[in-house]
Structure 1
Amino acid sequence: MSRLPKELFSTIRRIQINTTHIVNDVLAGAYHSAFKGQGMEFEDVRTYQPGDDVRAIDWNVTARFNHPYVKSFREERELTVMIAVDVSASSHYSSKSRLKSEVIAEVGATLAFSAIKNNDRVGLLLFSDRIEQYLPPKKGTRHVLRVIRDLLAFEPESRGTDIACGLEFLQRVHRKTGVCFLISDFITDGYKTPLTLTAKKHDLITIAVTDPYESVFPDLGLLTIRDLESKKLKVIDTSNQRARAALAEKAQERLERHRKLVERVGAGYIHIENGTDYTLPIRRFFRMRERRR
């Protein structure tokens, strides 16, 4: 890793310490239980013991030695984990002390450290309305620190958002089934088909990171905003309670629309709001996944 500015190095170090603690103490075992390997691999045969599954009996070996033997298997544990992050301009918004992008960096770091702790490979994809950065999956702490650095400091060339672009890239470069965490605020539409196709191929979990002001708009007087559908600028009077309520309702509808789509295609859904403990919804999701397996 090249020499970093002191402030950035301190931030990376702080995130490393915080997330390592979270992975070791808060999420210990939860990640491993939630994400199983891709199958079972034959290991050896052993003498049959009472309680063994009779379907595992190796009849050839049993006949040869005139004593029951069973096949034993081990889980193919190693997974490829991709963290795909929307780095468009909206990720740099915040009504709290931290930008959404900083929350995303900590969430990404937590997932990355969880992966390498379980000997999985982890990769990173940063996208806006184009592919901004791609780090192929690797193992090791040094690689995770590179992931954190790019999550914090990478400067995207574009400010736009195209979630479909990121998902289509993943489908092209990762043909083998893996785990994919898609992190965005999901303020745009038009990704239904690639989301569906990605969920069919991979274990896809979407993480929606939002800010309180996106659903509870404050009284800030006259504001000029860009409509996400028409791309046109318009002025809104946020001192008008009815106008604020309409904005909040639209934000809630957008998030609910995304949640229902995710549920329909069989992917996972986590919602994290800036200013709250992001580990709680992650833990809830991991526990839910563990119960279903």
Structure 2
Amino acid sequence: MTVARFRGLDLVVRRRLDGLLHGEHAGLRLGAGGDAEELTRYRPGHDVRRIDWNVTARSTEPMVWRTRAEHELDTWVLVDRTASMAFGTVAHEKSETAEWLAGAIGLLTDAPGNRVGIGSLEADGVRWLRPLAGRAAAHRALTADPPAREGVASTSLADAIGALERRYRRPGLRVVVSDLLEPDGAHRRPFPWEQPLKRLARRHDVVVAEVIDPRELELPPVGEVVLTDPETGAQREVSTSDRRVRDAYAAAAREHRAATAEAVRAAGAAHLPLTTHADWTAELARFVIRRRRTPARRPRSAAR
């Protein structure tokens, strides 16, 4: 089954996504390289062959081009596998969509020298899996055991993002895959994960993939239902026949989605919404194409 899933993902990536990410992540630090990156005043030790004589003539002082160093891409994917992710009302659960995305990232960034590590946020904490080549990391992402279906996680998403920022400092690509749901149901800013995400984005190119199920956006009119919080076990009986209840639920869901999108942008990360009822590969392709047109902001600490 696992082999079939991996082959299926590999086929989808090759047919629909291959080439979109390859070559997108140039080195993040200045140094020896081939692409002109920054025009600066000449200092002893600079390569005189890179003096821009036209600019030098206009400014009356020597000006030289520094170049961007090319480095292997260092990628870490933090996958939320807490109980709230074990939910789905369409073809797949949110946790399955997260696994497919993590696998796709591994395949798309697979190149000589590149490595992909996975941090798995489980009910009992975060498991850090050592970096592997892209295809090996993709295969590993699809072989994970099913996530816990109930229970409060011992480590929050905010703590997991903070741990990722502290543990792996080399500039690279960082992807956080989560539903961004708080155990206490908070749907307004500030969220606990905002500050750790902002610190992570100062050094790395960060993408936050928010995985959503359509039933989290609106309730269908199906009469009396009992809703259970998978993490706390709390239950509430809800009359979905009441239009006011459905409208209030949908309004709160819209407010939460708008708040999370705003928080991700404010942290300096890119936001990739994914839904369990839509074609996630098409959503990923559109996201990458948009980023090609608007290059990712380079982390501030990377330009030193």
Q: Same fold (TM over 0.5)?
A: yes
Structure 2 match to 1:250: 252
Q: What percent of counterpart residues are identical?
A: 23
* SS of residue paired to 1:257: helix
For residues 244 and 103 of structure 1, do their structure 2 counterparts lie closer, same or farther at Cα, with a shift above 3 Å needed?
same
Q: Compute the displacement of 1:61 (Å).
A: 10
Structure 1 match to 2:170: 176
Alpha-carbon contact 1:130-1:165 (below 8 Å) kept: no
Worse-matched range after superposition: 248-257 or 123-132: 123-132
Structure 2 match to 1:133: 127
Alpha-carbon contact 1:128-1:159 (below 8 Å) kept: no
* SS of residue paired to 2:263: helix
For residues 262 and 43 of structure 1, do their structure 2 counterparts lie closer, same or farther at Cα, with a shift above 3 Å needed?
closer
* SS of residue paired to 2:110: helix
Structure 1 match to 2:61: none
Unaligned runs of 5+ in 1: 1-9, 45-52, 63-69
For residues 144 and 236 of structure 1, do their structure 2 counterparts lie closer, same or farther at Cα, with a shift above 3 Å needed?
same
Worse-matched range after superposition: 74-83 or 263-272: 74-83
- Aligned residue pairs: how many? 266
For residues 263 and 118 of structure 1, do their structure 2 counterparts lie closer, same or farther at Cα, with a shift above 3 Å needed?
farther
Q: Compute the displacement of 1:88 (Å).
A: 1.2
Structure with the bigger percentage of helix: 1
* SS of residue paired to 1:37: coil
For residues 143 and 227 of structure 1, do their structure 2 counterparts lie closer, same or farther at Cα, with a shift above 3 Å needed?
closer
Could you tell me which amino acid in structure 1 is paired with residue 272 of structure 2? I
> Is 2:88 the partner of 1:98?
no
* SS of residue paired to 2:22: helix
Worse-matched range after superposition: 256-265 or 212-221: 212-221
Could you tell me which amino acid in structure 2 is paired with residue 270 of structure 1? L
Worse-matched range after superposition: 122-131 or 168-177: 122-131
> Is 2:144 the partner of 1:159?
no
Structure 1 match to 2:27: 37
For residues 92 and 231 of structure 1, do their structure 2 counterparts lie closer, same or farther at Cα, with a shift above 3 Å needed?
closer
Q: Compute the displacement of 1:40 (Å).
A: 5.2
Alpha-carbon contact 1:19-1:106 (below 8 Å) kept: yes
For residues 43 and 264 of structure 1, do their structure 2 counterparts lie closer, same or farther at Cα, with a shift above 3 Å needed?
closer
Q: Deviations over 1:130-184 (max 9, x none)?
A: 524210212153343222212xx25449733521021011022112222111111
Structure 2 match to 1:289: 291
Structure 2 match to 1:196: 198
* SS of residue paired to 1:116: coil
TM-score (norm 1): 0.78
Structure 1 match to 2:269: 267
Structure 1 match to 2:12: 22
Q: Deviations over 1:71-116 (max 9, x none)?
A: 9967524111111111111211111132221121111111111122
Q: Compute the displacement of 1:220 (Å).
A: 3.2
